[in-house]
């Protein structure tokens, strides 16, 4: 067997996916927590050129991020067609809840997702989910996952690349080269983070620029960081990073949209500087990001901030590209659904943040997932 090492941080969902992939295939590996071991972090950065996790080394090969396709090539993947009652794309609050409901109805169910937990994993603190005064997103989703694993559900860690409808059934293909067929399909694929759309953004991603503070935040202990965004998750992120970073600059394009209590807690911190009505113009650095230029929108005054890391939290885009023109989307690329999670295609249902339901809340996504599962059950029984 090859020598496999996984460099991870404690709350990184993508790190968990790499380890889960290897565990499922009984591949032995050594896990190194670079959030607590600074020398290991320096070794990882030197070997991979990355200031982000996960990083996986297989002998002399280095994989950055959760690369399901390459992991499947190295350690094997089932490529057979599989017939099921219900296929669920996505394993966030909506997909996981749908899976539990489908399993309890006795349906042969498959969950396909690149992560377990979705956007909820990036919530530092959740204070409005019934039954918990406060719980971290990663902990809440871990409880969801535990309940799913108690059910008769097959869970595949892979990226869906396409969906077609053939002879009244749905066929889902994945990046790992596997195809699955089901009578009903539930799309609960969530969203992915927006980026700034400025030069060098892709070059610095993983080299000081991050869209996942829960993953990469521990690597910036005692360093100066900037956060771009003014919503709840951005402010929560800033509050958490202020506890480990030497200084936090938060750049808000207009004004805060976050809960007032969180904003008040943030602005009271002595190592936080708030830049209201500023926008990011450029990123700077050589091998790694070392600063950014921001502009005050009212005066057009430009300032360079020297920082070690930048975390983006400026919004989310629905994960619907894999659907092609199979189903009706709205102008925001969300799957259009009715009050019962039904789409324009019979037998295809959608739930959670990928759908046209207005409120993006964990508790609403879970409820919509339950509704979609019950509708899928009725469809399978009648067909």
Give residue-wise pLDDT tens across range 345-361: 999 999 999 999 987 78
Q: Which of 262, 280, 312 is the last residue of a domain?
A: 312
The pLDDT score that the predictor gives to residue 322 is 96
Do 30 and 52 reside in the same domain of the chain?
Answer: yes
Q: State both tokens at 148.
A: 């799913």
Answer yes or no: do 265 and 296 share one domain: yes
CATH number at residue 19: 3.40.30.10
- Give the mean model confidence (pLDDT) for residues 297-309: 95
Assess if residue 196 is contained within a domain.
no
State mean pLDDT over 61-86.
81
In the block, residue with structure tokens 């790190």: 15
Boundary (domain end) residue, out of 278, 312, 346: 312
> Does residue 70 share a domain with residue 27?
yes
Domain carrying residue 254: 201-312
Which backbone phi and psi does 62 adopt, to 5 degrees? -120, 125
Q: What is the pLDDT of residues 124-174, one digit of tens each?
A: 678 788 888 888 877 888 899 889 988 888 888 888 999 999 888 999 999
| Domain boundary pick from 40, 75, 110 | 75
pLDDT at 1: 78
CATH number at residue 146: 3.50.50.60
Q: Which of 130, 182, 192 is nearest to 153 (CA)?
A: 182
DSSP class of residue 346?
Answer: T
**Cβ contact 6:15 at 8 Å:** yes
Residues 151 and 91 in one domain: yes
227 and 303 in one domain? yes
Q: Are 284 and 308 in contact (CB under 8 A)?
A: no
Residue 80 predicted with pLDDT over 70: no
Give the pLDDT band of residue 332 (cuts 50, 70, 90). Answer: very high
Same domain as 86, residue 182: yes
Q: What is the pTM of this model?
A: 0.78
3-state secondary structure of 34: coil
With cut-offs at 50, 70 and 90, classify the pLDDT of residue 117: confident
Active site residues: 212, 215-216
3-state secondary structure of 83: strand
Number of domains in the chain: 3
Check pLDDT > 80 for residue 253. Answer: yes
């Amino acid at each position: 067997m090859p020598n496999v090492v996984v460099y991870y941080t404690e709350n990184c969902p993508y790190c968990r996916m790499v380890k889960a992939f290897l565990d499922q295939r009984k591949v032995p590996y050594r896990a190194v927590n670079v959030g607590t071991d600074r020398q290991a972090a320096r070794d990882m950065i030197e070997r991979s050129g990355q200031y982000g996790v996960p990083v996986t080394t297989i002998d002399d090969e280095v994989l950055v991020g959760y690369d399901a396709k390459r992991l499947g090539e190295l350690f094997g993947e089932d490529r057979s067609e599989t017939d099921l009652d219900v296929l669920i794309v996505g394993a966030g609050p909506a997909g996981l809840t749908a899976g539990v409901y489908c399993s309890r109805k006795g349906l042969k169910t498959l969950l396909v997702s690149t992560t377990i937990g979705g956007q909820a994993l990036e919530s530092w603190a959740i204070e409005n989910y019934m039954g918990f005064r406060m719980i971290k997103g990663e902990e809440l989703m871990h409880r969801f996952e535990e309940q799913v694993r108690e059910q008769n559900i097959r869970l595949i860690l892979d990226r869906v690349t396409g969906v077609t409808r053939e002879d009244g059934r749905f066929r889902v293909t994945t990046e790992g080269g596997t195809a699955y067929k089901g009578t009903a399909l539930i799309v609960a694929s969530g969203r992915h983070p927006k980026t700034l759309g400025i030069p060098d953004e892709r070059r610095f991603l993983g080299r000081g620029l991050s869209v996942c503070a829960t993953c990469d935040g521990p690597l910036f202990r005692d360093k100066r960081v900037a956060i771009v965004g003014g919503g709840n998750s951005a402010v929560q992120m800033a509050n958490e990073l202020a506890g480990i970073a030497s200084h936090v600059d938060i750049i808000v394009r207009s004004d805060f949209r976050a809960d007032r209590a969180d904003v008040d807690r943030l602005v009271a911190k002595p190592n936080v500087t708030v830049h209201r009505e500023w926008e990011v113009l450029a990123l700077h650095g050589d091998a790694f990001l070392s600063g950014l230029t921001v502009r005050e929108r009212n005066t057009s005054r430009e300032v360079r901030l020297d920082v070690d890391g930048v975390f983006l939290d400026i919004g989310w885009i629905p994960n619907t590209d894999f659907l092609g023109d199979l189903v009706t989307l709205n102008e925001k690329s969300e799957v259009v659904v009715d009050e019962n999670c039904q789409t324009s295609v019979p037998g295809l249902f959608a739930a959670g943040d990928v759908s046209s339901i207005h409120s993006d809340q964990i508790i609403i996504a879970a409820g919509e997932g339950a509704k979609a599962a019950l509708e899928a059950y009725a469809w399978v029984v009648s067909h």
